[in-house]
Amino acid sequence: MTNQRSKDTVAEHFRESVRVKEHAAAECGDAIVRAADLIAGAFRGGRKLLLCGNGGSAADSQHIAAEFVSVLDQRRPRPPLPAIALTTDTSFLTANANDFGFENVFARQVEALGGAGDVLIAISTSGKSPNVLAALRRARERGLKTVVLTGRSGGATNELGDVVIRVPSESTQHIQEVHITIGHIICELVEGSLHATSAGA
């Protein structure tokens, strides 16, 4: 690949990423605000946030959970917020998948850790991940509220999310790029709702 072709590839990726984000800003704004309100309400009520997803969506789950437990905006000091990524316990994940199959790994943790009034953020770019769908079903059975981050169609998650945020793209990589942006926005909105006074205000 020539140097110019490489530069063209870089430029095209950025252009498409920006295009998808602009469309998401126009189409997903209301759902993002609803999701943030749902999560802020849960935290106010002393409840917690659970997150799950596979692959890059597992990484996003961990990233978003870290922002809540730590802090997104260091200019706005605040207490930690209880958020747990269900993707991090490798001993449980490998044991449960080995003994019972991979489809149940998140649902089992939702049953163990989740309760009525908690919120589950379930991330699936396709909306078809069996273990994510199983977690959403178990969450509903246990009285959790559910937020879904997915792609254009939403797949089966459309029927399982209290709030479904569908990124208007069919490209996994660009959907994931928008998902982490959405995660940051939700965290910013929650921080602003719960701790409105920022440093220097």
CATH 3.30.70.980 fits 3-194, yes or no: no
Give Cα 119 distance to the centre of its chain. 11
Q: Give the C-alpha separation, 89 to 80, whole Å.
A: 21
Question: Domain segments of the chain: what residues?
Answer: 3-194
Query: pTM, whole model, 2 decimals?
Result: 0.93
Rounded to whole angstroms, what are the CA distances from 9 to 4, 5, 13, 23, 175? 9, 6, 6, 21, 18
Average pLDDT over residues 42-63: 98
Q: What is the pLDDT of residues 90-137, one digit of tens each?
A: 999 999 999 999 999 999 999 999 999 999 999 999 999 999 999 999
Q: Specify the pLDDT at position 75.
A: 86
User: What burial letters (b/e) apply to 118-152, b meaning 16+ CB within 10 Å?
Assistant: bbbbbbbbbbebbbbbbbbbbbbebebbbbbbbbb
The better pLDDT of the pair 195, 88 is held by 88
The pLDDT confidence band at residue 1, using thresholds 50, 70 and 90, is: low
Percent of the chain with pLDDT over 70: 97
Q: Is the pLDDT of residue 78 over 90?
A: yes
